[in-house]
Structure 1
Amino acid sequence: MRKGYVGWKLPEDERARLLALFPAAYARTVAHHVTAAFNVPTNHPLPKETGGTVVGIADDGAGVQALVLSIGGTTARRDGSTWHVTWSLAPGRKPVDSNDAIRRHGWTAVEPIPVRLEPHFFPF
């Protein structure tokens, strides 16, 4: 059975709106999705929520920028990490590095911005 990850896709209009508010700090703009569960089969249930709130921004100063979200009233994911959208990356950095950047460097609160999210399965 194919595997992948589930979460939310950031719709193009929301992506464009947020990029205007939070310009990419690094060369590669990602701004694509929020992960809820990784390495799951195609029949894994999709999240029920269809929106969240941007509540912060993280930047480790070494090539990882992420937006922090509150989903279902919390920034805490079930795995102990923080809900986020990897926003931009410097060469050699990967989206998964956002987890460490937020854990090590924290994040700065911003004025809350509601955002529409689309539940989605992303195949590997």
Structure 2
Amino acid sequence: MPRTPSSPILLAGLLAGAAVAHAALPKQFDAIVPRALPGTPRQWTYASGAAELALAVGVAHPRTRRVAALATAAFFVGVFPANVKMAVDARRRSPALRAVAVGRLPLQVPLVLWARSVSRSAAAR
């Protein structure tokens, strides 16, 4: 299978990399967990990392790819509030950090579309 920008293997790699980052650098992720959620931010950090790892495995495997890619699209929508919190919190940070935090917001759209594209490609097989 060719490795194109819509490749499921690249999407799985992105998800797996994010999962590792959640485990290796949890403090950074704890800071963006919306406080309205029950439990501790660390629980949500680890849970989202575990979800990303499960999604990566599902997207990588052809038999589960379609459903896992759809779940990935939903996951990307679901974590959007954390990106909004990051942007709101960045108001008191340097202009560079504010730009990065605000710049992440529209990036969720191509991620959702990428996951949907992987799902559609898997369904067409």
Same fold, judged at TM 0.5 (above): no
The TM-score bracket by the shorter chain reads: under 0.3
Rg larger in 1 or in 2?
A: 2
Higher RCO (Cα < 8 Å, 6 or more apart): 1
TM-score with structure 1 setting the length: 0.25
Identify, as 1 or 2, the structure richer in strand.
1
Q: How high is the TM-score relative to the length of structure 2?
A: 0.25
